[in-house]
A and B are shown apart, each in its own frame.
Chain A
Amino acid sequence: MIPGFHEVAHEGLDDYAVLLQNGASLEPSALEEITAVLARFPSQLLYADSREGGELIRRPAFSPLRLREQDYLGPLRVYLRAALDLDPSLLTEVVHVPRVLSSTTTATVAAEPADPPSGVPERRTDGTRRVRYPVQGEPLVSVIIPTRGGAATIDGTDRVLVVEAVRAIVERSSYRAFELLVVADDETPQAVIDELVAVGGDQLRLIRWSDTFNFSAKVNRGAAFASGEYLLLLNDDVDPVSPDWIETMLGLAQQPGVGMVGALLLFEDGTVQHGGHLYRDSWAGHIALGWSVNRDDRLGSMRVTREVSGVTAACALLTADLFRRIGGLSSVFASNYNDVDLSLKVRSTGASVVWTPDARLYHFESKTRDAAVAPSEIAALRQRWGSRLLTDPYWSD
């Protein structure tokens, strides 16, 4: 029995234990709804949205890595009795009911998650729990950076973006087994190339791009040259904040069932640029776009590693094998949505996409950037993935 919970008597659900947080109450039709859902979808665990102190708390679809850091299941859990003593993060048949089935007058008491089967639990500075997954072995990571050698003024200083990105990786990243594949347009200034060679040293490989612009094809060109076991797709306008960003992402990517890993990206002013992708109402955007880095949702989603619908290709790590098995980035999407398509391709293999706040980078994209979206790109995205873009299983606010 979970501390702070009691079992509710019920009829017709003999194989299941209906556990309710002490002090919580079931909605009048809750048991009927639970019975109906389990009749349609027999599961090892069922949980639902709730009302806490009058506030509606929507919960994400089953997120096992998140569950290792944060008990987000709420005041009502219906367990198959045979699964009651198992680590919930290891269950395979879990259903979330997106309806309010229970209420409490106070916030749910979150249970301390069980020790994870892999990884080392520790406390973040804000008191939340982090599970750190040590990297197995020392696999080579191929960092693919498409560029045309552009410059920008950051924090009052003019800088060539790709040079500073490469410098930051070389000088400040604690993980050392990487190669840098810079795919540079023909038009890249010669001075930028020379500086890249000086900064990147032996770890740099320069690859020429002479064709018309196609972001996806440029990344695929880099992947064609990559010799690493893992590919790290990276924009040229990023700057890592966390020295251990590569091993944080790599450790997560090595977990069973994980397909691709993304990071917390911040605008130059420190507000959030990317907290994972959000797919809703046939559209794709970024979670927490423009939020203060201290802002959060009701569940505290920005402070934990969690499953998401997708992540931006501005910083995404996956195995080279998976990248090749799913056909890389689709050149149908020359400018936009190539990462949305990539994420959905990853998930269509049954693997998950994970975002972590523990790998943090600046992304010097303009806050007011209004990317020109070709109608053909959005049409192609909807044609491929229409039903996947209607509601987001992992983000409800």
Chain B
Amino acid sequence: MSDDKNGAWVGPESTLPADELAARERQLALVDRVFGLEAQLAELSAQNSLTPSERLRTEQRLIEMQGSLAWRLGRAATAPLRVAQRFVVRARAR
């Protein structure tokens, strides 16, 4: 057993021609990139890519969130701001 001068291991190493290995790894990276872009695209139309069960579950989560104490307190706390905003919008529209 002996280390080479760089400290890297030596042994019965499997190898591929450098260009072939690079091509295989590049192919994986390119396909992954396409998948990533397609996934991002699907995110922009997420409603269309969800299954019926997932859509129902997401809708249910929204209902539960809107019924939560934190949501209602938040709505109550920001109510004056929303009323004021309505006045500002109406005033500008005149």
A residues contacting B by CB (< 8 A) are: 37, 40-41, 43, 61-62, 94-99, 181, 184, 186-194, 196-197, 205-208, 210, 217, 220-221, 223-225, 324-332, 344-345, 348, 380, 383-387, 390-391, 393
Contact present for A224 and B21 (CB under 8 Å)? yes
Q: How far is the CB of B73 from chain A (nearest CB, A)?
A: 19
Contact present for A41 and B9 (CB under 8 Å)? no
Contact present for A331 and B29 (CB under 8 Å)? yes
Which residue of B is nearest A189, CB measured? B9
- Per DSSP, are chain A's interface residues mostly helix, strand or loop, or mixed? mixed
Q: How large is the interface on B (under 10, 10 to 19, 20 to 34, 35 or more residues)?
A: 35 or more
B residues contacting A by CB (< 8 A) are: 1-3, 6-14, 16, 21, 24-25, 27-36, 38-40, 42-43, 46, 49-54, 56-58, 60-61
Contact present for A41 and B52 (CB under 8 Å)? yes
Contacting B14 at CB < 8 Å: which of A225, A325, A380, A391? A225
- Per DSSP, are chain B's interface residues mostly helix, strand or loop, or mixed? helix
Contact present for B36 and A384 (CB under 8 Å)? yes
Given A190-B2, A344-B39, A37–B56 Cβ distance below 8 Å?
yes
Which residue of B is nearest A62, CB measured? B53
Residues of B within 8 A of A326 (CB): 31-32, 35
Residues of B within 8 A of A192 (CB): 9
Given A194-B11, A197-B11, A387–B40 Cβ distance below 8 Å?
no
Given A187-B7, A191-B1, A224–B24 Cβ distance below 8 Å?
yes
Contacting A393 at CB < 8 Å: which of B1, B29, B30, B51? B51
Contact present for B16 and A224 (CB under 8 Å)? yes
Contacting A95 at CB < 8 Å: which of B35, B40, B43, B56? B56
Contact present for A98 and B60 (CB under 8 Å)? yes
Residues of A within 8 A of B50 (CB): 387
Contact present for A95 and B13 (CB under 8 Å)? no
15 contacts between A and B (CB under 8 A): A37-B52, A41-B52, A61-B54, A98-B60, A190-B1, A206-B13, A224-B21, A324-B27, A324-B28, A325-B31, A326-B31, A327-B31, A384-B43, A391-B54, A391-B57
A390 and B21 CA atoms in complex are apart in Å by 38
Q: How far is the CB of B83 from chain A (nearest CB, A)?
A: 31
